[in-house]
Structure formats: structure tokens, C-alpha cells
């Protein structure tokens, strides 16, 4: 099982930009909301103070109420300034946090000054901690900021209040010290709200983004698979040579590939490639090798199988080995005029040539894995086989014979060899072998599976423009 903390860290890294943008937009909306709440509350408080003064009869109490009224009006003005005096539409999250911090700091300062004046006029203790708790708690209820960010405007006010309690107020010092020491308790509700809200929001955001990212990736992979599959050739049957194949990647994309090229003269060039690895990385490598094969066939249309493997080895050794990527390949050229098959095998599983008489001949490797040796060291022995009409060549990648059943038993090359001896032979060898592999593995592929067949149907008639043989080049 993957480590949960590592997974969360990966998600935070992947979606950091999106998460910061969402927090910024969220804070912008909530900043307007808290300002609106403060204005409504300030208006109600101002109305209440006006009514209290109008019905008050004690001069000293009336003076205190006037200071209280001035504080309420001042608070209202501060909030109105921050709500209407600054255009926050394009503000960054840090600018919004600075604005919220300054606003609450000013509101708290007004409350502290008002409490001090009221206490001086009425000679009654006025508790500042209640307004401080109010400003902090309401801000935390509205604003999506972190616990640390919520302390920015409160710590200076709390320190200022503590200094006043310790050095200005009268009374027993021990009691005043105890009040100062216990005062941070009022911040706990707001801090808890901040932490809980951001945790829940972060989790919901992660789940939403993972789902969105997964859907987007599935769509991208579907488009990539469509492009990837367009590189594969279509089945071919011209009456002389029939080519067919089936391909089942372990994932949406795979590292197996078959390339078919029919020259203008009618020579059939077939190349099977199996790249190390699976999935998207292997598919990207196949894409590069496809381009290299197309270049080789375009620039050297008469290149022999051994030469093609040498060129592919050079390309892989120079460009892909540094990424620890190698490939096996089987390259063949069928001359339908003379019924000759020229082939070379670079570390690829042995293909099987089934004669029309039922005799099965393996075609083993004649060179090492592509990329394993430098271009100067690499050599690919090319061999030639005579074909008769009705002979069929079946090639495949290692996913076919390495497939395992529920007991862990591999299908193996021997069973493939036995299948090739089947009488009467199936018309479509790739589909027949693929069905047997799927039955053996119970539909649980552990590797990409590519199976291709090349059948020599009949000799092609020589024309004045066609070459007599590949060996005449």
C-alpha cells in the first residue's frame, strides 16, 4: 500500500497552482461577506447606542455611551472603507490577507480604546477580551485563512491588552498575571474553526481534482491511443501475401509495435518491435521508433533486414539507452516473386514458420537486444528461407508465451509450438493464438500481447518493372 502522506504530498504538488487559485477566489468572496456582516452588525449596534443615549438620564453614563457610539461609528467607517474604498477583484490572496489583518487590527484597536475610555469615565471594569474574541471568532467563521494567519491581527491586540492589564490596571498582580496567561484561551474556538474548515476543504478539493484530473487523463489517453493506433498497419491481402495481426496492450497504451511496408515492386517488409517497459513511456518510445522506421524505409527502400536492425540499434543506442530503454526486434522481407524470406532477429522471441505440410520451423535470434551494443560492435546475421505457397509465418512478443494462469504457470514456447502444429490449421492464426493466451491467463494480461501472421499465398508474376529478387540489389 502506498504511504498516505506521500500520496497527499504528491496531490498537493500536482494541484498546487489550482489550490492556490481556489483559496484566493474563496478568500475574496468571504472577505466581502465578513465586511458586509460587520457593517450590518455595526449599523444595528449604532442604532442601539443612539436609542440608549436618547433615553439615558445619567450624564456620566451618557458620556460613556457617546464614546461607545463614536467607537461603533468608527468601526463602521473602517469596515466601509475596506469594503468600498478598495477594489479587491484583482487582489492576490496575500493582499486580501493583509487587508483583513489591517481591518481587524483597526477594529480591535478602536474597541480597546473605547473600552479604556468607558472604564475611565464610569470607573467600572470594561472587559476587552470579549470584543477581541468576537472579532477573531467572526473573522475565522467567515475567512478561509490558516490558524497562523488568523493570529496576525490578534496577537498585537492581545499583547497591548496584556500590557495595559499588567502595568495600568490596579489590583492584585497575581490575579492580573493569571488573566494574561489564560487570555489565549479565547482564541481556541476560532483556531479550531480555521483548522477544521481548511482540512475539510483541502480533502474535498483533492478528491474533486483527482477525479477531474483522472477524467482529463482518461480523455487524453483515449486521444493518444487513437493517434498511437493510427501508426499500426491495416491487414493486407493482395492475393500473393496475406498479413494479419492482433494487439492487446496491458494498459491503454503499450510498447509492442508491428510495421508493414509494401514496396512499389511488391516486396513485403515486416518489422516487430517490443520496447522494454509498459504504458505511456513505452508507447512514446514506439512513436519514436515508428518515425525512425518510416525514415529508413523512405530513404533506403531496399534496405535488408540485417541493415534495418543495425540502423535501429544505432538509433536506440545513441538516443534511448541513456533512459535505460532497449528493444527486441524481428525484421523480415518476403519476396513474393521467388518465394524467399530474408530475416534477422535481434533478441526477439523466435517466430515460427509453419509449412503447408505442417512442419514447424523456429526462427531464433541472430543478434543481441537492440541498444545493448554500440553501433561498431553490433552485427545482425541475416538468414534466408525458401517458402512454398500456403506457408505461414507467425511472430509474436513475449507477452504471448509469458502469460500466466492463476497457478502462476506460464503458457511457454512449447505450447505455442504445439499450437502451430494444429491440424487443420485455423484461417486466422493471430486471433486463434490470442484466444488461447486469453483462456490460459483467464483474461488477466500481465504484458502487452502482439501476434502477427504473414502468409505466402502464391508466387507473384514477374513484370518488366519488378525486380527478380531482393538479392539482386
User: What pTM was estimated for this model as a whole?
Assistant: 0.61
* Grid cell 457617546 in the structure block, residue: 66
> Residue 185: which residues within 8 A CB-CB, separation 6 or more?
none
Distance CA 115, CA 71 (A): 9
Map out the domains of the chain as residue ranges: 4-211, 236-472
Q: What is the pLDDT of residue 171?
A: 74
> Residue 443: which residues within 8 A CB-CB, separation 6 or more?
none
Distance CA 226, CA 273 (A): 19
- Whether the link from the prior residue into 32 is cis, omega within 30° of 0, is no
Please tell me the number of Cα atoms within 13 Å of 132 on its side-chain side.
26
Cell numbers at 130, concatenated? 470579549
CA–CA distance from 187 to each of 133, 183, 201, 271 (Å)?
7, 8, 21, 72
For residue 453, what is the enclosing H or E element? strand 449-456
User: Block means of pLDDT (10 residues each) for the chain, length 473 residues?
Assistant: 40 64 84 83 74 58 55 70 70 85 84 72 65 86 89 88 80 84 89 89 79 72 80 92 91 87 92 89 89 93 94 95 93 95 95 93 94 94 94 93 84 89 90 90 78 94 55 37
Q: What is the pLDDT of residue 183?
A: 87
Phi/psi of residue 213, nearest 5 degrees:
-65, -40
CA–CA distance from 142 to each of 74, 92, 100 (Å)?
22, 18, 11
Distance CA 265, CA 463 (A): 9
Q: What is the pLDDT of residue 39?
A: 81
CA 103 to chain centre: 41
Smallest CA-to-CA distance from 282 within 439, 397, 412 is with 397
Please tell me the number of Cα atoms within 13 Å of 440 on its side-chain side.
20
Q: What is the pLDDT of residue 406?
A: 82
A 10 A CB-CB count for 371 gives: 27
> Residue 99: which residues within 8 A CB-CB, separation 6 or more?
31, 82, 86, 88, 91
| Helix ranges (DSSP H) in 268-326 | 279-299, 305-319
236-472: which CATH architecture?
Answer: 4-Layer Sandwich (3.60)
Smallest CA-to-CA distance from 137 within 197, 70, 94 is with 197
Q: What is the pLDDT of residue 290?
A: 93
Smallest CA-to-CA distance from 14 within 311, 301, 289, 216 is with 216
Amino acid at each position: 500500500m502506498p504511504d498516505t502522506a506521500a500520496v497527499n504530498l504528491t496531490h498537493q504538488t500536482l494541484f498546487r497552482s489550482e489550490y492556490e487559485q481556489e483559496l484566493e477566489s474563496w478568500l475574496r468572496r468571504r472577505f466581502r461577506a465578513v465586511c458586509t456582516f460587520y457593517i450590518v452588525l455595526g449599523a444595528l449596534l449604532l442604532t442601539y447606542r443612539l436609542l440608549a443615549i436618547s433615553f439615558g438620564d445619567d450624564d456620566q453614563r451618557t458620556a460613556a455611551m457617546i464614546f461607545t457610539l463614536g467607537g461603533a461609528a468608527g468601526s463602521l467607517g473602517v469596515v466601509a472603507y475596506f469594503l468600498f474604498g478598495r477594489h479587491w477583484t484583482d487582489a492576490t490572496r496575500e493582499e486580501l490577507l493583509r487587508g483583513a489583518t489591517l481591518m481587524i487590527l483597526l477594529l480591535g484597536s478602536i474597541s480597546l480604546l473605547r473600552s479604556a475610555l468607558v472604564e475611565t469615565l464610569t470607573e467600572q471594569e470594561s472587559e476587552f477580551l470579549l470584543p477581541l474574541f468576537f472579532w477573531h471568532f467572526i473573522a475565522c467563521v467567515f475567512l478561509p485563512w490558516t490558524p497562523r494567519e488568523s493570529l496576525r491581527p490578534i496577537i498585537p491586540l492581545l499583547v497591548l491588552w496584556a500590557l495595559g492589564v499588567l502595568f495600568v490596571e490596579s489590583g492584585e498582580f497575581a490575579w492580573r498575571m493569571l488573566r494574561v496567561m489564560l487570555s489565549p484561551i479565547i482564541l481556541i474556538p476560532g483556531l479550531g474553526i480555521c483548522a477544521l474548515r481548511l482540512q475539510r476543504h483541502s480533502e474535498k478539493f483533492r478528491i474533486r481534482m483527482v477525479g477531474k484530473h483522472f477524467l482529463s487523463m482518461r480523455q487524453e489517453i483515449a486521444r493518444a491511443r487513437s493517434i498511437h493506433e493510427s501508426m499500426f498497419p491495416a491487414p493486407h491481402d493482395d492475393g500473393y501475401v496475406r498479413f494479419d495481426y492482433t494487439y492487446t496492450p496491458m494498459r491503454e497504451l503499450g510498447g509492442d509495435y508491428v510495421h508493414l511496408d509494401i514496396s512499389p515492386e511488391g516486396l513485403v517488409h515486416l518489422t516487430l518491435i517490443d520496447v522494454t517497459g509498459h504504458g505511456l513511456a513505452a508507447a512514446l518510445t514506439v512513436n519514436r521508433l515508428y518515425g525512425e522506421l518510416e525514415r529508413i524505409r523512405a530513404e533506403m527502400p531496399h534496405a535488408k533486414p540485417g541493415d534495418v536492425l543495425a540502423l535501429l540499434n544505432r538509433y536506440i543506442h545513441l538516443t534511448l539507452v541513456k533512459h535505460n530503454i532497449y528493444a527486441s526486434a524481428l525484421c523480415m522481407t518476403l519476396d513474393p516473386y521467388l518465394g524467399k524470406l530474408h530475416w534477422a532477429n535481434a533478441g526477439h522471441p523466435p517466430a515460427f514458420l509453419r509449412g503447408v505440410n505442417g512442419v514447424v520451423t523456429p526462427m531464433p535470434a541472430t543478434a543481441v537486444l537492440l541498444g545493448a551494443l554500440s553501433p561498431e560492435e553490433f552485427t545482425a546475421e541475416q538468414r534466408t528461407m525458401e517458402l512454398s505457397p500456403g506457408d505461414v509465418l507467425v511472430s509474436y512478443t513475449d507477452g504471448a508465451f509469458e502469460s500466466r494462469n492463476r497457478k502462476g504457470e506460464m503458457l511457454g514456447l512449447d505450447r505455442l509450438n504445439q499450437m502451430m502444429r494444429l491440424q487443420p490449421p485455423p484461417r486466422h492464426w493471430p486471433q486463434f493464438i490470442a484466444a488461447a493466451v486469453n483462456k490460459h491467463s483467464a483474461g488477466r494480461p500481465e504484458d502487452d500481447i502482439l501476434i502477427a501472421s504473414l502468409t505466402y499465398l502464391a508466387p507473384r508474376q514477374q513484370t518488366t518493372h519488378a525486380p527478380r529478387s531482393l538479392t539482386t540489389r
